[in-house]
Amino acid sequence: MSMAKSPLNSQFIATLLPKINHVWHKSSAFIKELFGVMLEQIKFLIQSVLVIFKLLLKQADKLINYLAEHPLFNTLETGYKKTVAKVAALKTVYEKQNTAIKLSKPYEKAALYAQLTRVDKPIGILLLMWPTLIALWIAAEGWPDPLVLFVFVAGVILMRSAGCAINDYADRNIDGKVKRTTQRPLATGKITPKEALLVFVVLSTLAFILVLFMNTLTIAMSLVGVLLAASYPFMKRYHYLPQVHLGAAFGWSAPMAYAAQANEVTAITWLIFLATILWATAYDTMYAMVDYDDDIKIGVKSTAILFGNQDKLIIGAIQTLLIFDLLLIGHRAELSGFYYLGVAAASLFAIYQQYLIKDRNRELCFQAFLNNNWFGMVLFVGVFLDYQYAATI
């Protein structure tokens, strides 16, 4: 059943609708008027900004013109041009003088001596330095005596350079036949054999003078060191173990350093010496693998030739013995965590070197040889940190 709409409701709605319609129209007009006023204000603001900007540009233009025409800036510009001209003139003079120096006989001779002693290739110095520093730190149980440290750092540099000079003298008739060494100054004839011998004698004498500041034991041991350094280059003609001889020559600096610091030699001294021999035999065999083909042709002997197809296996065995010897050194010297971390890091480098030589590629074998610098460095860092911080942990 439907219900009829109430007359009261109909009347209310009829009166309400005109009011709503009126409010809507008023609101629309107000909003339009408001937006109109805002739009005018925005236009005025933009116009004002543009006017101000034009004024600023005009004033800036005047300022630039003023500065450009000011005498001070003309003076600065002139001074700048004169300075540039003077610098260019000095550069030309320097280049001429530098060229003249490089073309001078003393400079050329100095460059040849640097090439002879390999000071431009410090890898040999570093490989000799690390066991020396390790021996000094263990002998001193920390920082060594400053004079001893200076003497052996300088001595390593001098004796390695002297060793290179006598090595090139011994190989003066061989280096020209080996791809890697054809440009050495003795092989090319730019330095005479007498000059190479003189360089060896002078450098060895300087190193010996430094040793005279050490104790009697060290001075006596230095004579053995000179004999080892002088005889090593000739051994490749007589036996297949010149790398072992090199290890003894390089390694002798370790017991000397130990004796200089502690004024005695102990079981640890000879363990360090043995470690250096093992290490040098391993890395110099990698080095010899680079020259394998050339050495076979000219009849030079080396461990690389002696080991033959078993070279990688034997190098690995030597490296294993080296790591075991390093563990013995740590035990006898009562070293702790930092040192053994260094040994662990060195072991990883030894594994990486095995990876590099796996195909006997000449370039990669040379990279394996160079990588031994990191092997020696992490060992020394382990020793250094152990004595520096182990007691505080």
Contact (CB, 8 A) for 298 and 236 = no
Integer Cα distance of 371 and 375 in angstroms: 7
Rounded (10°) angle between helices 123-140 and 253-262 = 30
Within a 10 A sphere around the Cβ of 10, how many other Cβ atoms? 10
The C-alpha atoms of residue 269 and residue 259 are separated, in whole angstroms, by 8
**379 and 254 in contact (C-beta within 8 Å)?**
no
Q: Is residue 49 part of a domain?
A: no
In a domain, 283, yes or no: yes
Q: Structural domain tally of the chain?
A: 1
pTM for the full predicted model: 0.72
For residue 49, the one-letter residue type is: V
DSSP 172: T
Closest CA to 170 of 81, 245, 85, 251: 245
**Structural domain includes residue 301:** yes
Calpha distance 253→104 (Å, rounded): 38
**Residue written as token pair 């933009």:** 46
Note the pLDDT tens digit of each residue in 108-125: 888 888 888 888 888 999
Q: In the prediction, which pLDDT does 378 show?
A: 97
Cα(22)–Cα(178) distance, rounded to whole angstroms?
Answer: 109
pLDDT tens for the 393 residues of the chain, in order: 444 445 555 666 667 677 677 767 767 776 777 677 777 778 777 877 888 877 887 777 777 777 666 676 667 777 777 777 777 777 776 666 656 555 567 778 888 888 888 888 889 999 999 999 999 999 999 999 999 999 999 999 999 999 888 888 888 877 777 777 788 888 888 888 898 899 999 999 999 999 999 999 999 999 998 888 888 888 877 788 888 988 898 889 999 999 999 999 999 999 999 999 999 999 999 988 988 887 787 878 888 888 888 999 999 999 999 999 999 999 999 998 999 999 999 999 999 999 999 999 999 999 999 999 999 999 999 999 999 887 555
Contact 81, 149 (CB under 8 A): no
Q: Is residue 83 part of a domain?
A: no
CATH number (domain holding residue 366): 1.10.357.140
Q: What percent of the chain has pLDDT over 70?
A: 88
Query: Would you say residue 71 lies in a domain?
Result: no
Q: What is the DSSP letter of 212?
A: T
Among residues 317, 206, 225, 210, which one has the least CA distance to residue 273?
225
The amino acid occupying position 390 is A
User: What's the rounded Cα separation, in Å, for the pair 339 and 21?
Assistant: 94
What is the separation, in whole angstroms, between the first and last Cα of the chain?
99
In a domain, 357, yes or no: yes
Question: What Cα–Cα distance (Å) separates residue 4 from each residue in 10, 34, 68?
Answer: 11, 46, 95
Task: Tell me which residue range forms the domain holding 335.
Answer: 118-392
From the number of C-beta atoms within 10 Å of its C-beta (0-12, 13-18, 19+), residue 316 rates as: middle
Taking only the tens place, the pLDDT of each residue in 33-81 is 767 777 777 877 787 788 887 788 777 777 777 766 667 666 777 777 7
Whether 155 maps to a domain, the answer reads: yes
Asked if the structure places residue 387 within a domain, the reply is: yes
